[in-house]
Structure 1
Amino acid sequence: MTAATTARGEQRGISPVFLGIVAVMAVTGWAVWTEFAAATGFAVFLFVTSAWIVSLCLHEYAHARTALHSGDISVGAKGYLTLNPLKYTHALLSIVLPVVFVIMGGIGLPGGAVFIERGRIQGRWKHSLISAAGPLTNVLFAVVCTAPFWLHALSGVPLPFRFALAFLALLQITAAILNFLPVPGLDGYGVIEPWLSHGVRRQVEPFAPFGLLAVFAVLFIPEVNAVFFDAVYGLLRALGISDLESYCGRDLYRFWQDVNPYCSVS
């Protein structure tokens, strides 16, 4: 079912853009599984990148769908329910920058949220749930990616696909952790914001546009970066993914670099 516009201006159905991204994910996932041709690293790159974009679309869709059921019927007219990444308020923050940071640093940087008309929504719990819905989607995506590992169902799974899933799980976990930080501009702050006093919210509001940049800057501090990734790798190990598997996934993803001999799949 593709997207269509109703008489009230609501855009419903799944966008062809999203379906195209899913198709790329499916085809490249098959290529990674079968080790099609000799371009395994390039296939891993396309598979993980397209899967990451799919997760970003689902993240934003979760915000919009929760807002719709909480009282903001405007999300339909904005096209947020079509899963089309081009309909987001901040396509640069929601899609482009997160993909760039995955390519550059192998970190799941949270994107910008869809625009919700908060005045239409009554109840603090509803506002908190709308903010939490996005990163909870990343948590669910991480559970799906890690399921073969903690279910011990890896028999017959080719190493390139196994490594790609491990790296994709790393991205989802980093995105969930970062998004749940109670920093202005991130979803974690959106969860607690309805419970803060009006005065505190007014004082914090000017800093919201810079919250994401501040988090990124802090992650450049070696000590903070080490603590952050220690927590990430600890969670991955608890879910059955070894450090080597997630490392090799990131190594294969960067197909333009020399592959570490320990990650050779030939």
Structure 2
Amino acid sequence: MSTTTHRHHERRISPVFLAILAVMGVTGWAVWTDFAALPGLAVFLFVTSAWIVSLCLHEYAHARTALAGGDITVGAKGYLTLNPLAYTHAVLSIILPVLFVIMGGIGLPGGAVFIERNRVRGRWKHSLISAAGPLANVAFAVVCTAPFWLDALDGVPPAFRYALAFLAFLQVTAALLNFLPVPGLDGYGVVEPYLSYRFKRLIEPYAPYGFFVVIALLFVPAINGAFFDGVDALMRALGVPELTRACGSRLYRFWEGTPEVCAV
């Protein structure tokens, strides 16, 4: 196999990702046209599949930026195919974030792809690799909220509007949490290259627990309230009313029932 053919194979989009993308497209069409007998189920499938797509793009952004930075091994690991089954921590990267959306309606940061950092030269490249993932979430949020801040909602069915608002909410929460400068999250990876060697050695033993500490802190009422107040303020700045996002969340968890104010 020639080098060019081998590289093309390493970057060929995975059938698994294409299947998830197809589910997103079909269920998105069902939400838009009100084709489904259970609109809540259609919203659930649409948002869940779109959320998985965004997680794949998040990890792909890390890998693609690492490739540009000098880590040529990411292709052989399957990271450039957008296949969620190729990730080093599939449970942390895909399964756990999906479960958190179902249970709590929050965009949980996932585990990262494994980057061989010793192949990357330049502190700014290391920072950019870490920032690329949450920036993908930011881009996804911008796309989801575009109809709102462009005032282009005429003709958009209520159920689809609610679904977009909730999906944008997940992207915003994921980006904000990921950008926290906490060991184990991408935000720490952004600042780590500029920290002293002594400080990094001091923090290193606690890095595996940073992710879980953040999740635990979100159960503290004062911290939880402040975080989600900030998220709601950002969503309003993007033109998304809090009620629209809340209706999207309730419609997504259709098994809990949908209030009359969110009728579709």
Q: If the TM-score is normalised by the length of the shorter chain, which range does it land in?
A: over 0.9
SS across alignment from 1:176? helix
Number of the residue aligned with 1:236? 235
Other-structure match for 2:127: 128
For these two proteins, the number of residue pairs brought into alignment is 261
How far, CA to CA, are the matches of 1:191 and 1:244 in structure 2?
34
1:60 aligns with 2:41: no
Equivalent residue for 2:148? 149
Q: Paired residue for 1:108?
A: 107
Q: Which runs of 5+ in 1 are unaligned?
A: none
Cα separation, partners in 2 of 1:203 and 1:8, compared to 1, 3 Å: same
Q: Distance in 2 between matches of 1:31 and 1:91?
A: 29
Structure 2 unaligned blocks of 5 or more = none
CA displacement at 1:37 relative to structure 2: 3.2
Q: In 2, distance between residues paired with 1:153 and 1:7?
A: 44
**Equivalences for 1:4-83 in 2 at 5 Å?**
6-7=5-6, 11-83=10-82
In 2, the alpha carbon distance for the partners of 1:197 and 1:262 equals 54
Q: SS in structure 2 opposite 1:154?
A: coil
Structure-1-length-normalised TM-score: 0.96
Q: Distance in 1 between matches of 2:76 and 2:204?
A: 27
**Distance 1:204-1:157 versus aligned 2 partners, 3 A rule:** same
Partner in structure 2 of residue 86 of structure 1: 85
Task: Provide the aligned C-alpha RMSD in A.
Answer: 1.2
Distance apart, 1:148 and its partner CA: 0.1
Instruction: Report whether the alignment pairs 1:252 with 2:251.
Output: yes
Query: 1:7, CA displacement in angstroms?
Result: 4.3
Greater shift in the superposed pair: 176-185 or 31-40: 31-40
Pairwise CA distance, 1:10: 6.2
Tell me which residue corresponds to 1:262. 261
- AA paired with 2:202? Q
Return the offset for 1:208. 1.2
TM-score by length of 2: 0.97
Q: In 2, Cα distance between the equivalents of 1:79 and 1:42?
A: 32
Deviations 1:179-211 (A, max 9, x none): 000000000000000000111111111111111
Residues 69-104 of structure 1: CA distance to partner in whole angstroms, max 9, x if unpaired? 000000000000000000000000000000000000
1:72 is paired with a residue whose SS is coil
Provide closer, same or farther for how the CA distance between residues 138 and 9 of structure 1 changes in structure 2, counting only shifts above 3 A. closer
Structure-1 separation of matches of 2:7 and 2:141: 37
Identity among equivalent positions (%) equals 73
**Counterpart amino acid of residue 141 in structure 2:** A
Cα gap change, 1:208 to 1:6, in 2 (>3 Å): farther
Contact residue 61 and residue 80 of structure 1 kept, 8 A: yes
Shift in Å, 1:6: 4.7
1:66 corresponds to which letter in structure 2?
T
Look up the match of 2:165: 166
Instruction: Report how far residue 34 of structure 1 moved.
Output: 0.6
1:241 partner amino acid: V
